């Protein structure tokens, strides 16, 4: 029997605790698990039997969350990790090696641009950034050393929706996996696997937990990519020396990526999610659809009001009829364009600083996807490491403020924005 999203967000992955009957998933605050006997231990270590060994690899509370996120995304499996940035490294780790590259959209979370343009070079990996509205540019950036295509569904800082079907078609033709960061949309608004994504990454820190209490991430595998076809993915297709020559793809099929991420990725990189964090995220996901509906409803109201304000030069929100990406919303994220957008002020950089300092309900923080409304002046904070050209390409020009609309009363949000805009001159 298949169930609807609202049912799955409460039940997927969770069942009453077999030992106690506890209805809510317990927090299994344990590092290790007792083996039944020496044969059981050997089978677990050989990956011949699935079970719990040590919480760097697997933990029952984290496993419930993994199954829930995989189910909501329509994936075959998922691995949860310590942050969204950890999820990105974990997604790339089995695919990459020295001298290999990825092709990514210019429209990404600022921290991701830094991770991909600077930090991954230390591993000998590199990234070409191109405009994902230009199919020829994506195709032109792919070479024989490319191992993945990377973009966000609704791109941070908001207002942009990627044409996932078009990008997936390019990845398919090149025989490459498409990795989609679905943090800003969540599976309630967008399900990238239905549009051809191979892997979906999440910062669970944001809307999935939904209240700014947890740092976490996830990588969901569609289970659909043929890792053995091209000879380009030896970690998944070829014998793994650390497991007696086991071939992950041949042995685990559609779960190859997930098993590799646990058995090799978490084992050796150790970017593990803790059970307490998994518990908070499970609680958050129970109300995901209710919150996302309210985020979208409020964002449409507030963005429409701002668009008509005399101090405002531009509002980029794909949920507004004025947005060039409005037609993609119905196709890519049919339940709405999210709760995130940017506003450009006519007063420029200085006016933006006065505006964010004058707000009372909105908090000026480096976060998004909270029940509370948040703002950030990206050019002076999260995007300050980037050149002005990169800032503009990422939608974070000096006169732009990013707004993450919460689930408060929209009239109160509008009144707060109104007084802060008056003070900003």
Ligand X SMILES: *Cc1c(COP(=O)(O)O)cnc(C)c1O
Interface contacts to ligand X, rule CB under 6 A: 83-85, 109, 111-112, 152, 156, 181, 183-184, 203, 205-206, 215, 217, 368
What is the maximal distance between C-alpha atoms in the chain?
74
H-run or E-run covering 315: strand 312-316
Contact partners, residue 326, CB within 8 Å, separation at least 6: 318, 319, 320
Find the shortest distance in angstroms from Cβ 202 to ligand X.
8
Comparison of 152 and 240: residue with beta carbon closer to ligand X? 152
Strand, coil or helix: what is 138? helix
Retrieve residue 407's tokens. Answer: 């689930």
Can you tell me the distance from the alpha carbon of 127 to that of 150, in angstroms, rounded to the nearest whole number? 10
Comparison of 166 and 365: residue with beta carbon closer to ligand X? 365
User: Is 96:123 a contact under the CB 8 Å cutoff?
Assistant: yes
In 3-state terms the chain splits into helix, strand, coil percentages (rounded to 5) of 40, 15, 40
Comparison of 207 and 233: residue with beta carbon closer to ligand X? 207
Can you tell me the distance from the alpha carbon of 3 to that of 42, in angstroms, rounded to the nearest whole number? 38
Retrieve residue 56's tokens. Answer: 């760097």
Retrieve residue 210's tokens. Answer: 């939904």
Comparison of 148 and 237: residue with beta carbon closer to ligand X? 148
Comparison of 72 and 340: residue with beta carbon closer to ligand X? 340
Comparison of 114 and 146: residue with beta carbon closer to ligand X? 114
Find the shortest distance in angstroms from Cβ 76 to ligand X.
22
Find the shortest distance in angstroms from Cβ 91 to ligand X.
11
User: Is 414:308 a contact under the CB 8 Å cutoff?
Assistant: no
Find the shortest distance in angstroms from Cβ 243 to ligand X.
29
Can you tell me the distance from the alpha carbon of 399 to that of 349, in angstroms, rounded to the nearest whole number? 5
Find the shortest distance in angstroms from Cβ 115 to ligand X.
9
Strand, coil or helix: what is 310? coil
Comparison of 83 and 258: residue with beta carbon closer to ligand X? 83
Find the shortest distance in angstroms from Cβ 119 to ligand X.
13
Can you tell me the distance from the alpha carbon of 368 to that of 375, in angstroms, rounded to the nearest whole number? 8
Find the shortest distance in angstroms from Cβ 277 to ligand X.
11
> Beta-carbon neighbour count of residue 131 at 10 Å?
13
Comparison of 209 and 222: residue with beta carbon closer to ligand X? 209
Comparison of 119 and 423: residue with beta carbon closer to ligand X? 119
Find the shortest distance in angstroms from Cβ 85 to ligand X.
4
What residues does 184 pair with on adjacent strands?
A: none
Retrieve residue 287's tokens. Answer: 């109300």
Beta strands in 133-276 (DSSP E): 146-152, 154-155, 160-161, 178-181, 199-203, 217-221
User: Is 81:219 a contact under the CB 8 Å cutoff?
Assistant: yes
Between the alpha carbon of residue 225 and those of residues 56, 70, 139, 266, the distances in Å are 27, 16, 19, 21
Can you tell me the distance from the alpha carbon of 209 to that of 280, in angstroms, rounded to the nearest whole number? 7
Comparison of 81 and 96: residue with beta carbon closer to ligand X? 81
């Amino acid at each position: 029997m298949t169930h609807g999203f609202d049912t799955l967000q409460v039940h997927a992955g969770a069942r009453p605790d077999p030992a106690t009957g506890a209805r809510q998933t317990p927090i299994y605050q344990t590092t290790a698990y007792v083996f039944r006997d020496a044969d059981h231990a050997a089978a677990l270590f050989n990956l011949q039997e699935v079970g719990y060994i040590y919480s760097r690899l697997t933990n029952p509370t984290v496993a419930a969350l993994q199954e829930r996120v995989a189910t909501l995304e329509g994936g075959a499996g998922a691995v949860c990790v310590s942050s969204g940035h950890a999820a990105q490294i974990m997604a790339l780790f089995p695919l990459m090696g020295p001298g290999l590259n990825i092709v990514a959209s210019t429209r990404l979370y600022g921290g991701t641009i830094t991770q991909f343009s600077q930090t991954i070079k230390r591993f000998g990996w590199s990234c070409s950034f191109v405009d994902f509205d230009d199919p020829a540019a994506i195709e032109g950036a792919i070479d024989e050393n490319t191992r993945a295509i990377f973009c966000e569904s609704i791109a941070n800082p908001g207002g942009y929706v990627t044409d996932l079907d078009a990008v997936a078609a390019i990845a398919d033709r090149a025989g490459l996996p498409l990795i989609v960061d679905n943090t800003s949309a969540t599976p309630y608004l967008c399900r990238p696997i239905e549009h051809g994504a191979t892997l979906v990454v999440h910062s669970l820190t944001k809307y999935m937990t939904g209240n700014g209490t947890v740092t976490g991430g996830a990588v969901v595998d569609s289970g659909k990519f043929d890792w053995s076809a091209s000879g380009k993915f030896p970690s998944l297709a070829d014998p793994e020396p650390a497991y007696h020559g086991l071939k992950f793809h041949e042995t685990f099929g559609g779960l190859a990526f997930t098993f590799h991420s646990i058995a090799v990725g978490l084992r050796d990189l150790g970017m593990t999610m803790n059970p307490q964090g998994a518990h908070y995220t499970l609680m958050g996901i129970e109300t995901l659809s209710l919150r996302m509906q309210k985020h979208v409803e409020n964002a449409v109201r507030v963005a429409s009001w701002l668009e008509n304000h005399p101090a405002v030069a531009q509002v980029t929100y794909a949920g507004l009829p004025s947005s060039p990406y409005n037609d993609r919303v119905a196709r890519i994220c049919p339940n709405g364009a999210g709760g995130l957008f940017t506003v450009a002020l006519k007063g420029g950089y200085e006016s933006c600083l006065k505006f964010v300092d004058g707000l009372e309900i909105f908090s000026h923080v480096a976060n998004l996807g909270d029940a509370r409304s948040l703002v950030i002046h990206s050019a002076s904070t999260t995007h300050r490491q980037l050149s002005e050209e990169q800032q503009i390409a990422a939608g974070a020009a000096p006169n732009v403020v990013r707004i993450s609309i919460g689930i408060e009363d929209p009239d109160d949000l509008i009144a707060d924005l109104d007084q802060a805009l008056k003070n900003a001159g």
